[in-house]
Amino acid sequence: MKRFTIFFILGLLTLALGTTAYAEKKFKIAFIPKIIGNTFFEVAGAHAVEMGKKLGVEVKYDGPAEASVAAQVKFINTFVNMGYDAIVISALDPKGLNQALKRAMARGVVIVTWDSDVDPDYRTFYVNQGTPDILGRLLVNMVLNQLGTWHGKFKVAFHYSSPTVTDQNSWVKYAKKIITEEHPEWEIVTTQYSDMNFPKAVSVGEQILKTYPDINAIICPDSTAFPGQAKAVENLNMSGKVIVVGFTTPSTIKQYIKRGTVLQGGLWDCGVQGAAGVYVAYKLLKGEKIEVGTSFEIPGIPGKFKVVPNKLQGGEMYERPKYENRNDNGIVLLPERLIFTRYNIDKYNF
């Protein structure tokens, strides 16, 4: 009996120690951008790491030096092999990462996307800056804000990263829909891509201006194409002759706004987005529920994060019937979007 009691106590101690070790496990979260070195992603990455410190988890920010799907796949595989518990990724392609993410999920890794999504089958939630209708209209509205009493034909071009990237193509698709339905006098003359490469963005921007010297507006929903296009306008001494709008960080576009080359630019707080991506992954790792149709707050960040159905993103990939009644797979919306002008650009520090 005495011997049984000793073994029983030892068993309880082992169980207690095991439970404590599990409770004290420090989660490891990988935060992967489309490309490193870009201000948008560096700011998001810094805030992701900072959120990790607040939550007591290890967050590693790393990704490809060039915008490459194959390179992103390598980073996913490396982090999985290193035993990371979650991957928070901005995808360069909606399908190119699927098999790598499928293998990661099979090994118990929690997948969250941010900024640019993958097929919902291969992630839990997408931390989204805004649905296509919100951001597509914001792009068009920034042009409208500068038209004044303009009447007649109006030539527009689009310039962004690539024809496959999920987020930008969804915004452009909706923006073009708005132009077709609400502004029939506008003519979309070309759509060009510069692969998130600044020298290429300047070169492509100059080519647009030379090919269409009477262009009225160029819409750039990409954090590299936007400043690249602004630089091209300055290089060809066309400031004040063409409207250039788009999305990038205020610190990146500030010099062009100060010089009057750009009058309006938009974005969202990418630092908030980076922090939110880590926070969502952390909640899921802890077993806490995030459900479509609800909202939640993140300590230290103003506003509520709404959790909405995939179908609000639009398109076949998001509107499949199997997501209709799913509460554990959807989109987490950021609380707000921003427009920068010369009157408010100095108040933003990212």
- Average pLDDT of the segment spanning 170-183: 97
What's the pLDDT score for residue 18?
43
Say yes or no to pLDDT of 6 above 90. Answer: no
Measured between alpha carbons, how far is 156 from 69 in angstroms, rounded to an integer?
A: 30
Q: Are strands 295-298 and 301-308 parallel, antiparallel or unpaired?
A: antiparallel
pLDDT band, very low/low/confident/very high, at 325 (cuts 50, 70, 90): confident
40 CA to centre of own chain: 9
In this structure, are residues 53 and 27 in contact, taking their beta carbons and an 8 Å threshold?
A: no
State the Rg of the chain over Cα: 23
- Average pLDDT of the segment spanning 170-182: 97
pLDDT band, very low/low/confident/very high, at 9 (cuts 50, 70, 90): very low
Measured between alpha carbons, how far is 114 from 107 in angstroms, rounded to an integer?
A: 21
Say yes or no to pLDDT of 8 above 60. Answer: no
| Identity of residue 49 | V
In this structure, are residues 240 and 260 in contact, taking their beta carbons and an 8 Å threshold?
A: yes
User: Among 19-28, 42-51, 95-104, 335-344, where is mean pLDDT lowest?
Assistant: 19-28
What's the pLDDT score for residue 148?
82
User: Among 73-82, 122-131, 272-281, 320-329, where is mean pLDDT lowest?
Assistant: 320-329
Per the structure block, which two tokens stand in for 187?
A: 């003519």
Measured between alpha carbons, how far is 70 from 32 in angstroms, rounded to an integer?
A: 13
Say yes or no to pLDDT of 349 above 90. Answer: no
Give, in degrees to the nearest 5, the angle at Cα 38 between 31 and 96. 55
Say yes or no to pLDDT of 89 above 50. Answer: yes
What's the pLDDT score for residue 12?
41
- Average pLDDT of the segment spanning 108-124: 97
Measured between alpha carbons, how far is 224 from 61 in angstroms, rounded to an integer?
A: 20
Say yes or no to pLDDT of 2 above 60. Answer: no
What's the pLDDT score for residue 24?
59
Could you report the per-residue pLDDT of 234-245, keeping only the tens digit for each? Answer: 999 999 999 999
Give, in degrees to the nearest 5, the angle at Cα 240 between 237 and 244. 95
Task: Give all domains of the chain, ordered by start, each with its CATH number.
Answer: 27-129+270-334 (3.40.50.2300), 132-267 (3.40.50.2300)
Percent of residues, the chain, with pLDDT higher than 70: 93
Sign of the CA dihedral running 36, 42, 45, 50? positive
Measured between alpha carbons, how far is 38 from 42 in angstroms, rounded to an integer?
A: 6
Say yes or no to pLDDT of 251 above 70. Answer: yes
Residues 6+ away with beta carbon under 8 Å from 148: none
